[in-house]
Amino acid sequence: MNDKEKLRLMIEYDKIDPIVDKFAKALKLKLRSPKNLKKGSWLNSDYDYLFNRTIEELKELRELISKKSNPFDVIHEAIDVMAFAMFIADKYQYEIVKEGAKHIKRSFDYER
């Protein structure tokens, strides 16, 4: 069985949902921490900053994995990578919708 077939089976048998839910919950907790709340919205950050931070977080994740670090630390670093990727996509989608590109199919509704 190839990787594509394995992924299809995982989706089919609802194996992915608990994993995604676990990471989404951890990301929400991290973003709601007092430390992160005072940073303000990523919508005010420029793309260069967001991309550079994503690269920094990826390097940190790679280093932890290469050192065979504690899985807890790896998961938390992966959440940082996930956060910055989300910031970039959310900012882009927000700007496109704000510009009135109604012809673009949106994956999320924006009421900001």
Mean pLDDT on 65-73: 95
Strongest mean pLDDT among 6-10, 69-73, 100-104: 69-73
* Nearest C-alpha neighbor of 31 from the set 82, 74, 73: 82
- pLDDT of 112 higher than 50: no
Looking at residue 104, the DSSP 8-state letter turns out to be S
CB 88 within 8 A of CB 51: yes
Looking at residue 38, the DSSP 8-state letter turns out to be T
Tokens of 67: 């050192």
Contacts of residue 48, Cβ cutoff 8 Å, sequence gap at least 6: none
Compute the distance between CA of residue 101 and CA of residue 5 in angstroms, rounded to an integer: 36
CB 32 within 8 A of CB 83: no
Q: What is the pTM of this model?
A: 0.74
pLDDT band at 102 (very low <50, low <70, confident <90, very high): low
